[in-house]
Structure 1
């Protein structure tokens, strides 16, 4: 009888975990869809862009393998921030503008102009709004 209860509890735990995983997958899917709609970008293209343009050299970026820079702030909570770079409201258009030309918004910022195009910045913005 005791083994039966243990087996039942183990089965319930597996089912509960599966439900949690399914829920998290659905939440992520919804975040991706919202980020695509807000930015007009494709977050799937962003990891390669962020490696190419050296973003991870200065920032810690969720889901991105490689260096974990400490010069700039970690980018895992961009979607939750009120301001971008401490100077402009966190909107999709402002984030894209910041990624393309941060000096236009804050001339004394340490963030360099990297050569990222607006289309590429939309992909990066979508990625940052998707990941936490």
Structure 2
């Protein structure tokens, strides 16, 4: 009898990665329920839907901005001091970040370094 491979489901890898990343807990079990949704909206409004990291570097990245890859940029509410390192949900510990800045900060928080982005002039940005 011939071996017939099962069809690959694109979502399976993402689901298993999310389960590992969140230790199998739902967003509500991790403290991100309806109260967080309200607080998140308050932080986005406080920060006027602008990425605070981009703003500090003289760039404006807002809700609806288009990224360098041509796709819409999503905004995240980030813990300046991660909850895993003793941070709280207090408003002064929260900031609005665009997806790329949030990824970079999370990587840095976890001890990883990200490569500098290369500008259209061929030099690293921010150098």
Q: How high is the TM-score relative to the length of structure 2?
A: 0.31
- Structure 1 or 2, whichever has the larger Rg, is 1
- Larger RCO of the pair (alpha carbons < 8 Å, separation 6+): 1
More helix by share: 1
Q: How high is the TM-score relative to the length of structure 1?
A: 0.30
More strand by share: 2
